């Protein structure tokens, strides 16, 4: 006879026993011995979980509230009598939560089991979590993490979710874009922290690309023009910043018009893979013959760097919104030709602004896909021109093959996906 064939009450009690034993075994290992031992071990947790299920089965919500109050009172008494010299409330809270999990077993076995596993993992990860919070995490990262959490979990849900001019100027969309930009910068920062001892130049360029690929290309080109770095090395690093451009474009589509993801997913991921491999190969080949430690590598090892730049992210989000309004206005004025003209104008400054302005008009159609393809081509030429001006002809020549080839691949796949 399987668990699914048992009467519901028996199944709930059996699941509660299993959940209580799972959490209790972890607590038993930390309980200690003698007079200073902790409040509860494997038997107490198993009984508390079964008691939660029994209370729900026998008396419903009111008896469960009485049982929870009893467990909470036990925790208060145990904390007051603690003589271990290191009082804490983790076990007491875990015991009360175990009772609640037992009650939950009577209504949702899968959710109760999942919650029991999560609680056990949190209890078992004590040393790792303490080390992460006290030693690895920096003060600036705590501040930035709280700011990002407040924006994503408080500000975004509270903002109005309606556009004030056609399909554009939606406050929640703007806040979501800002949160996504900050989250992407945060992930890039953490990647530098975790892997900063390897491939410093590549990681620095990739992370900078999440802020501005065009600015990264110009900065690396300036180092070539000043004679501080070789053109192939900086060109390969510049191509890696284009990976960030394509990944951010996916994030913009997810935030502005998720229906575009079906058209953009394959082209952008394939393009990111191609340009990433090309740029990484160029950097590796160049550094293998002439190792260097330039400003980009120093930036990757900067221990005081914040997780993100709120000002840069806010500027990019405002630019995206402004370009959306511009494209919508030109489309109302000139129709589809206005959409194409405004997309090219926006692409000279920022591909994400141009793409968001096109995508916010609605689901993908032939005019929208055509406008996006044109914007990507204009943006690639704009990057190449930026590289020529900042780093000279040698830098531009090293940059051009990878930049133009991956753009052509993305545009070709996009035409196949969106126009066929």
Comparing 163 with 395, the larger pLDDT belongs to 395
Residue 149: pLDDT over 80: yes
Mean pLDDT throughout 269-292? 80
Q: Where in the chain are the domains?
A: 3-132, 139-418
Q: How far apart are CA 19 and CA 359, in angstroms?
A: 48
pLDDT category of residue 197 using cuts at 50, 70 and 90: very low
Which residues fall within 8 angstroms of residue 210, CB to CB, at 6 or more apart?
A: 181, 184, 185, 188, 244, 247, 248
| Residues paired with 165 in a beta bridge | 168
Split at pLDDT 50, 70, 90, the class of 16 is very high
Mean pLDDT for all residues in the chain = 77
CB 380 within 8 A of CB 404: yes
Give the per-residue pLDDT at 296.
41
Q: How confident is the model at residue 106 (pLDDT cuts 50, 70, 90)?
A: very high
In angstroms, how far apart are the furthest CA atoms of the chain? 83
Q: What pLDDT score does 343 carry?
A: 56
What confidence score (pLDDT) does residue 301 get?
Answer: 44
| pLDDT tens track for 72-96 | 888 788 777 765 555 667 888 899 9
Percent of the chain with pLDDT over 70: 71
- How far, rounded to the nearest angstrom, does the alpha carbon of residue 363 sit from its chain's CA centroid? 25
Percent of the chain scoring above 90 in pLDDT: 15
DSSP assignment of 48-113: HHHHHHHHHHHHHHHHHHHHHHHHHHHHHHHHHT--SSS--SHHHHHHHHHHHHHHHTTT-HHHHH
DSSP letters spanning 294-350? -HHHHHHT-TT--S--HHHHHHHHHHHHHHHHHHHHHHHHHSHHHHHHHHHHHHHH-
| pLDDT reading at 1 higher than 50 | no
Q: What pLDDT shows up at residue 98? A: 94
More confident residue, 97 or 208: 97
Q: Summarize pLDDT for 320-344 with one digit per residue, the tens.
A: 577 667 666 766 776 655 555 555 5
Check residue 14 and give its pLDDT.
Answer: 92
- Choice between 260 and 120, residue whose per-residue pLDDT is larger: 120
What was the pLDDT predicted at 128? Answer: 78
3 state SS of 165:
strand
- Return d(Cα 51, Cα 54) in angstroms, integer: 5
Chain position carrying tokens 């109005």: 160
User: Do 184 and 210 contact (CB within 8 A), yes or no?
Assistant: yes
pTM of the model: 0.55
195/354: higher pLDDT: 354
Given this model, what pLDDT does residue 191 score?
Answer: 61
């Amino acid at each position: 006879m399987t668990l699914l064939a048992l009467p519901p009450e028996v199944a709930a009690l059996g699941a509660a026993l299993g959940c209580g034993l799972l959490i209790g075994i972890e607590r038993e290992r930390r309980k200690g011995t003698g007079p200073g031992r902790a409040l509860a071990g494997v038997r107490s947790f198993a009984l508390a979980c079964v008691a939660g299920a029994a209370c729900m089965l026998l008396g419903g919500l009111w008896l469960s509230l009485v049982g929870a109050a009893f467990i909470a009172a036990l925790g208060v008494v145990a904390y007051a009598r603690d003589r271990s010299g290191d009082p804490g409330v983790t076990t007491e809270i875990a015991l009360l939560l175990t009772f609640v999990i037992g009650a939950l077993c009577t209504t949702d076995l899968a959710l109760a089991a999942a919650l029991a596993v999560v609680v056990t993992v949190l209890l078992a990860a004590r040393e790792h979590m303490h080390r992460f919070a006290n030693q690895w995490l920096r003060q600036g990262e705590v501040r930035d993490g709280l700011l990002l959490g407040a924006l994503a979990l408080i500000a975004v849900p509270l903002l109005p979710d309606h556009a004030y001019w056609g399909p554009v100027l939606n406050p929640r969309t703007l806040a979501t874009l800002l949160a996504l930009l900050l989250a992407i910068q945060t992930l890039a920062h953490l990647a530098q922290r975790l892997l900063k001892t390897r491939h410093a130049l590549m990681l620095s360029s990739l992370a900078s690309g999440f802020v501005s690929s065009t600015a990264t290309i110009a900065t690396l080109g300036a180092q070539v023009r000043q004679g501080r770095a070789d053109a192939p090395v900086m060109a390969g690093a510049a191509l890696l910043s284009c990976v960030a451009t394509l990944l951010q474009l996916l994030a913009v589509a997810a935030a502005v018009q998720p229906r575009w993801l079906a058209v953009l997913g394959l082209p952008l991921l394939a393009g990111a893979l191609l340009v990433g491999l090309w740029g990484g190969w160029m950097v590796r080949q160049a550094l293998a013959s002439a190792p260097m430690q330039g400003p980009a590598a120093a930036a990757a090892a900067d221990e005081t760097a914040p997780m993100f730049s709120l000002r840069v992210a806010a500027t990019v989000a405002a630019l995206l919104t402004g370009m959306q309004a511009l494209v919508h206005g030109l489309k109302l004025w000139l129709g589809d030709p206005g959409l194409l003209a405004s997309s090219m104008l926006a692409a000279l400054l920022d591909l994400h602004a141009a793409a968001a302005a096109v995508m916010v008009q609605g689901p993908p159609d032939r005019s929208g896909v055509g406008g996006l393809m044109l914007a990507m081509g204009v943006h690639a030429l704009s990057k190449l021109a930026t590289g020529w001006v900042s780093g000279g002809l040698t830098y531009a020549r090293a940059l051009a093959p990878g930049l133009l080839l991956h753009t052509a691949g993305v545009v070709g796949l996009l035409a196949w996906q969106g126009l066929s």
